[in-house]
Structure formats: C-alpha cells, structure tokens
Structure 1
Amino acid sequence: MRKVSLATKNPMEGTLGTTWEGPYEIIGILRSGTYRLRDANGKTLDHPWNVEHLKYYFK
C-alpha cells in the first residue's frame, strides 16, 4: 500500500478521505529503502517510493 500524499490526494474528499491506496507490487529495488512499484493493472509508477511511504499488504 502507498500513502496518499498531498500531491496525490483528491481535495474534494477532505479529512475523511483515504490515507492509503493500492495494492502495489515491488518490481525493483534501487537502493536500500527505495522501491519501484507497479499497480494491479501492470502500469509502472513514474518515480520510485521510499519505504517510509509504503505499508505491507497481504492478500
């Protein structure tokens, strides 16, 4: 799961909007704590994400 940041948050949802989105699959490790992600549709996200903004999700 990826944390929703101010840049990706829908302003119409307000404070009760979702705080996590996903699930995402880790497809690459760039360095320790930095990951490249792919969504459920197979689309790779544009930039890598730090582990501080990710949460484990088990199906």
Structure 2
Amino acid sequence: MRKVSLVTKNPTEGTLGPTRESPYEVTKVCRPGTYQLRDSKGKTLPHLWNADHLKYFYK
C-alpha cells in the first residue's frame, strides 16, 4: 500500500481521510529500496517509489 501524500490527498476528506492508497504490485526492483509499481487494473505508475512510502500488504 502506498502512503497518501499532500499531492495525492483529497482536500475534502480532512484529517480523518485514509492514510494509505489501494494495494499495488511491485513489478520491478530498480535499486535496493526503489520500486516500480502497478495498480490493480494493470496500469504501471509513471514514477519510482521509495520503500519509506510503501507498506507491505498480504492477501
């Protein structure tokens, strides 16, 4: 799951809004701690993500 940042946060949800976004699949490890992600619809996200912004999600 990806952490919601100020850029991706919906301003109408306030402080009680979700802190994580839907589960993503790691498709590629570019460097240790840097990952390429894909959403549940199969769309690859355009930017790489640091492990600090991700949380493990088990099905």
TM-score past 0.5 threshold: yes
Q: What fraction of aligned residue pairs are identical, expressed as a percent?
A: 66
1:8 match:
8
Code of the residue aligned with 1:18 in structure 2: it is: P
1 or 2, which has the higher strand percentage?
Answer: 1
Which stretches of structure 1, 4 residues or more, deviate above 4 A after TM superposition? none
SS in 2 for 1:21: coil
Q: What amino acid is the match of 1:38? A: R
2-structure distance, mates of 1:38, 1:31: 17
Q: Does 1:17 align with 2:23?
A: no
TM-superposition CA deviations, 1:25-47 (whole Å, max 9, x none): 00001101000000000000010
Structure with greater proportional helix content: 2
Structure 2 unmatched runs, 5+ = none
Runs (5+) with no aligned partner, structure 1: none
Aligned length: 59
